[in-house]
Chains A and B, each alone.
Chain A
Amino acid sequence: DGGITQSPKYLFRKEGQNVTLSCEQNLNHDAMYWYRQDPGQGLRLIYYSQIVNDFQKGDIAEGYSVSREKKESFPLTVTSAQKNPTAFYLCASSQQGTYGYTFGSGTRLTVV
C-alpha cells in the first residue's frame, strides 16, 4: 500500500536537545510538507519541498531545519532554538499538478 510513514509515533526529549522526526513516502510524490498542529490553531506550515535538494520556509520555520536528499524522504529536525517544541507534527506529500495532499499519522513530540 502506498502512503506516508512517520516515525516514531511518540517521542520524548529533554529540553535543549535536538531531535529528528522521520517522514518517508512511497507515493512517488514530488512535493513534501511539514506541519505543526497545536490545539485551537489548526495546522501551520513549517517547511516544504517541491524537488530534491530544494526546500522553502513556511510560516513558522524558526527553530526547525529540514533536508531533502531523496525524493521519498523529508526529515525534520527540531532544534534547541525552538522555544515551544511540544506539539503534534504532521508530514504530507502531493504530486505536482494535482491538488490533493496525503498526510502521515503524525509524531507527537513532548519536550520535558
Chain B
Amino acid sequence: QQQVKQSPQSLIVQKGGIPIINCAYENTAFDYFPWYQQFPGKGPALLIAIRPDVSEKKEGRFTISFNKSAKQFSLHIMDSQPGDSATYFCAALSQETSGSRLTFGEGTQLTVNP
C-alpha cells in the first residue's frame, strides 16, 4: 500500500537549473514531511523537513512547498550543482500507538550536468 507517491522517477537538469520533485499523500494523519538525500552506497540523510501548518520552508538552496488542501508537497533546488546529483526521497511521518512510522516515496534520481 503506497501512501506517498513521488514524481518524476528521474530528472536531468543543467547546472544552475531548478529541479522540482513532487510528492502526494493520502493519509491526513501524517504530521511531518521530511526530504532525504541519498548518494550511491550510502544511507539517506535528512535534507529538510516541514510541518503541515507551514506552507513553505527554505534552507540554503533547498525549498519545500506544502499544499495541505491538495495533500501535496514539493522540493525545489535553487542553482543546482553537479554535487547535488543524488537520489531524493520524500517521506511522511505518522504517529501510531506502536510508535512513529516514516513512509517513503519511490525516489527521484537527479542528475545535474556541468
The binding surface of chain A is classed by DSSP as strand
Task: Give Cα A6–Cα B107 distance, bound, in whole angstroms.
Answer: 22
Task: Give Cα A111–Cα B104 distance, bound, in whole angstroms.
Answer: 25
Cβ-neighbour of A100 out of B6, B41, B42, B46 (below 8 A)? B46
Number of A-B contacts (CB under 8 A): 62
Once A42-B105, A99-B34 are accepted as A-B contacts, the answer to whether A31 and B100 lie under 8 Å apart by CB is yes
What total of chain A residues lie within 8 Å of the partner, measured CB to CB?
A: 28
Task: Give Cα A48–Cα B44 distance, bound, in whole angstroms.
Answer: 17
Mark B residues whose CB is within 8 Å of A.
1, 4, 6, 9, 32, 34, 36, 41-46, 49, 89, 93, 98-107
Mark A residues whose CB is within 8 Å of B.
4, 6, 31, 33, 35, 40-45, 48, 50, 56, 58-59, 90, 92, 94, 96, 99-101, 103-106, 108
What would 9 more interface pairs be, CB under 8 Å, given A43-B89, A43-B104?
A: A35-B104, A40-B107, A42-B89, A42-B104, A42-B107, A99-B34, A99-B93, A103-B36, A105-B42
